[in-house]
């Protein structure tokens, strides 16, 4: 499965406009035969950064005439000067998915740079973390992605149905002790927290 990740930097005053447009874009995209899941979230660290996750079952996405016409109108009606900077676009392969898509209020992302010699140890640690997450009250869905431009870079996505439970999970003393067992990373893991605004589809692989 193929993830198209886009980070938006929305100009102040246009947040509601862009929010509505991206929701409609995702509702349109999810009708594509190879669409899996569309997620839209707002970064908790500032008022202008948003994250779109567009997950597809195939890397080659077909667009019929109806979808092409819809996209042409979508692009034509985009407000001028909508963004503070061009979006950041990155591509990932989905490595793992557990849980149920939908109903999330909090998205916790973590960027990981895995050292080659310590990959096995990290995989064992990550599997244990996955089990902790799935057992946690208020947790919804786990996804793990590998960056298509480098085999050592991963991104974890945690979707929490209960936002307070998600924040409390990583603040708990037991998680600080558990995290101390993660070693051999190329760089320190980078966490980001988002409010989930809209979800559509299902991130589970096809049978």
Q: What is the pLDDT of residues 47-64, one digit of tens each?
A: 999 999 999 999 999 999
Q: What is the pLDDT of residues 64-76, one digit of tens each?
A: 999 999 999 999 9
- Domain residue spans of the chain: 2-201
Cβ–Cβ under 8 Å, residues 191 and 110: yes
What are the tokens at 60? 């080659």
Q: What is the pLDDT of residues 91-146, one digit of tens each?
A: 999 999 999 999 999 999 999 999 777 788 889 999 999 999 999 999 999 999 99
Alpha-carbon distance of 30 to 137, in angstroms, equals 29
Alpha-carbon distance of 40 to 159, in angstroms, equals 12
Cβ–Cβ under 8 Å, residues 48 and 11: yes
Alpha-carbon distance of 113 to 56, in angstroms, equals 24
**CB 15: neighbour CB atoms within 10 A?**
15
**Residue 184 pLDDT exceeds 80:** no
The CATH code belonging to domain 2-201 is: 3.30.70.100
SS3 197: strand
């Amino acid at each position: 499965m193929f993830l198209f990740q886009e980070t938006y930097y929305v100009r102040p005053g246009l947040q509601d406009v862009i929010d509505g447009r991206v929701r409609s874009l995702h509702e349109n995209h999810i009708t594509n035969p190879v669409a899996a899941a569309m997620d839209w979230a707002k970064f908790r660290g500032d008022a202008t950064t948003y994250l779109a996750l567009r997950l597809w079952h195939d890397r080659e996405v077909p667009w019929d005439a109806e979808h092409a016409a819809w996209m042409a109108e979508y692009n034509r009606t985009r407000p001028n000067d909508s963004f503070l900077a061009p979006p950041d676009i990155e591509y990932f392969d989905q490595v793992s998915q557990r849980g149920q898509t939908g109903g999330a209020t909090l998205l916790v992302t973590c960027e990981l740079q895995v050292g080659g010699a310590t990959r096995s140890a990290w995989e064992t640690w990550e599997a244990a973390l996955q089990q902790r997450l799935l057992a946690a009250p208020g947790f919804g869905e786990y996804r793990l992605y590998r960056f298509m431009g480098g085999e050592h870079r991963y991104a974890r996505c945690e979707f929490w149905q209960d936002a307070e439970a998600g924040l409390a999970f990583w603040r708990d003393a037991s998680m600080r002790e558990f995290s101390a067992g993660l070693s051999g990373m190329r760089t320190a893991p980078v966490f980001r927290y988002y409010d989930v605004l809209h979800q559509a589809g299902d991130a589970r692989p096809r049978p």
